Chains A and B, each alone.
Chain A
């Protein structure tokens, strides 16, 4: 199964404080372990929310708000995608992550196409296929 490991934002990440060399090195080693375990699929850090936007859907036009956003705990500073055998295995890997005191990681299972079941009808699938085809044409152009 695939899981997304979410790195929660904190005051430092929101202030755009870059990690120290030591932390970067430790993180590099950790990532290397993940790669050598063959479970890491992707991973990236995110810029602070001050550079982000939020789009709120209302009855009228969607409303766009510029960052930064409050509620630091609910913001995301980065993520990994892993392919693991079980949630327990994901937890064991997360425990090995070199994080500082107070940091928080969250593990969420990723939906696969079949998880959507009947609701993902052939028509919807066909539509997604068409959209994807167009999107890919754009990215290749």
Chain B
């Protein structure tokens, strides 16, 4: 690639989402907006190597896309004039549309971007489609990049995106921000999608692919954008705080051979202090906005407790246990209960943890969840009940999908037998 092409690539990544957002407002059709933006990019690729990069490349691209849009309207109009019966009304409508386009393209784009985020995360779409569309339209990732990140074929992802766009068009999803209760519901969907994307990158420590940690970065970047666009939303700041703090541990989460390192065993010198500071600041903002944090706000507060502890031994388990109580009261999730049991065991001893855990034993959702017997085994070891612990570790080893995890669990089981 020439230097100009590198520059065009960079400019495209910066401008793409705003461009598509602005064009969607006019065309009311994401698919068409994306095509227009792509055509503008092609024009730039043709002209900029010869003419040099314009002073305001974003405005240039927008103008080029606008001209394309007007061309299309004219052609459509021309085609219609050929039919015998076109009314004057139709003409006026087109004129209006043109004027609307002019106005739309001169407007600041912040709100458009927010609307585009809300459309990409619309509940009429499946969760897979929402993440793919968000990465494509807001993150500016290529279909190929998304496919690599999700370990799927490019064709699958491309199809998913096409279908998503068609669904939005068929259902006539309006390009506007919902209000009131619906805004809350949709905001939650947006947050969920961003967190899904983040987790896809974060939990995939086994993936060799460069794209997966980059998904974390992308989700974090998109969440920062969201917080910039919705500064009054506590839960959005909570989401940002949670991601910043979790991302601060990215370099400490795996050992030299890629083996996972648990939170309490991580080398805290490898935690990114800048991201921690940002996370704590975002959390403070969330807390200033509400006294009743949502699930992301609470999780961020828990993450912050770990981030504030210089050594694992300094961890404020009283506060973490209290926060898990709060989260459990909201969530009714067995996984939260499991974490709550761990927090309480750290606060009040393994027997307390074991009691909380035993209340979960009948839980259907946890039947095949290896962490339940694994954590239970851990408590039993601490209580000196080695024989029972061994059984639990072997059960956990049989349940886990991860080979590394399995060998670790079997080692612990063997250690129980010997003691």
Task: Kindly list chain A residues whose C-beta atoms are within 8 Å of the C-beta of B222.
Answer: 38
A133 CB within 8 Å of chain B: yes
Q: Which residue of B lies closest to A110 (CB)?
A: B274
Q: Which residue of A lies closest to B221 (CB)?
A: A38
Given contacts A89-B10, A91-B7, A136-B310, contact A125 B269 (CB under 8 A): yes
Interface size class of A (residues with CB under 8 A): 20 to 34
Whether B10 contacts A92 by the Cβ 8 Å rule is yes
A114 CB within 8 Å of chain B: yes
User: Most A CB atoms within 10 A — which of B14, B113, B273, B311?
Assistant: B14
Whether A88 contacts B274 by the Cβ 8 Å rule is no
Besides A86-B10, A125-B269, A136-B310, 13 more A-B contacts (Cβ < 8 Å) are A37-B221, A38-B221, A38-B228, A39-B221, A41-B278, A42-B274, A85-B10, A85-B13, A86-B6, A89-B13, A89-B14, A125-B270, A133-B310
A11 CB within 8 Å of chain B: no
A129 CB within 8 Å of chain B: yes
B110 CB within 8 Å of chain A: yes
B9 CB within 8 Å of chain A: yes
Interface string of B211-225 (1 = CB under 8 A from A): 000000100111111
Whether B225 contacts A91 by the Cβ 8 Å rule is no
A103 CB within 8 Å of chain B: no
Task: Kindly list chain A residues whose C-beta atoms are within 8 Å of the C-beta of B278.
Answer: 41-42
A sample of 15 cross-chain residue pairs with beta-carbon separation below 8 angstroms, ordered by A number, consists of A35-B228, A36-B113, A37-B221, A38-B228, A41-B274, A41-B278, A86-B6, A88-B7, A92-B10, A92-B14, A113-B251, A114-B251, A126-B269, A133-B310, A134-B310
Task: Kindly list chain B residues whose C-beta atoms are within 8 Å of the C-beta of A137.
Answer: 310
B386 CB within 8 Å of chain A: no
Size of B's binding interface in residues, CB under 8 A: 31
User: Most B CB atoms within 10 A — which of A89, A92, A114?
Assistant: A92
Closest chain-A Cβ to B97's Cβ sits at a distance in Å of: 28
Task: Tell me which of A38, A85, A113 contacts B225 (CB under 8 A).
Answer: A38
A112 CB within 8 Å of chain B: yes
Closest chain-A Cβ to B329's Cβ sits at a distance in Å of: 30
A132 CB within 8 Å of chain B: yes
Residues of B within 8 A of A (CB): 6-7, 9-11, 13-14, 57, 110, 113, 217, 220-225, 228-229, 251, 267-270, 273-275, 278, 308, 310-311
Task: Kindly list chain B residues whose C-beta atoms are within 8 Å of the C-beta of A113.
Answer: 251, 270
Closest chain-A Cβ to B119's Cβ sits at a distance in Å of: 18
Whether B14 contacts A112 by the Cβ 8 Å rule is no
A126 to B6, CA, bound (A): 40
A81 CB within 8 Å of chain B: yes
A140 to B280, CA, bound (A): 14
A126 to B251, CA, bound (A): 15
A128 CB within 8 Å of chain B: yes
Task: Kindly list chain B residues whose C-beta atoms are within 8 Å of the C-beta of A35.
Answer: 224, 228
A85 to B213, CA, bound (A): 13
A8 CB within 8 Å of chain B: no
Task: Tell me which of B7, B220, B267, B311 contacts A38 (CB under 8 A).
Answer: B220
Whether B7 contacts A92 by the Cβ 8 Å rule is yes
Closest chain-A Cβ to B53's Cβ sits at a distance in Å of: 9
Given contacts A88-B6, A89-B14, A112-B251, contact A133 B268 (CB under 8 A): yes
Q: Which residue of A lies closest to B15 (CB)?
A: A92
Whether A88 contacts B269 by the Cβ 8 Å rule is no
Task: Tell me which of A37, A132, A134 contacts B268 (CB under 8 A).
Answer: A132
Closest chain-B Cβ to A111's Cβ sits at a distance in Å of: 12
Whether A132 contacts B224 by the Cβ 8 Å rule is no
A66 CB within 8 Å of chain B: no
Whether B274 contacts A93 by the Cβ 8 Å rule is no
Whether B267 contacts A37 by the Cβ 8 Å rule is no
Task: Kindly list chain B residues whose C-beta atoms are within 8 Å of the C-beta of A140.
Answer: 308
Task: Kindly list chain B residues whose C-beta atoms are within 8 Å of the C-beta of A129.
Answer: 267-269
Whether B10 contacts A91 by the Cβ 8 Å rule is yes
Q: Which residue of B lies closest to A131 (CB)?
A: B269
Closest chain-B Cβ to A41's Cβ sits at a distance in Å of: 6
Task: Kindly list chain B residues whose C-beta atoms are within 8 Å of the C-beta of A81.
Answer: 274
Task: Kindly list chain A residues whose C-beta atoms are within 8 Å of the C-beta of B113.
Answer: 36
Task: Kindly list chain B residues whose C-beta atoms are within 8 Å of the C-beta of A126.
Answer: 267, 269
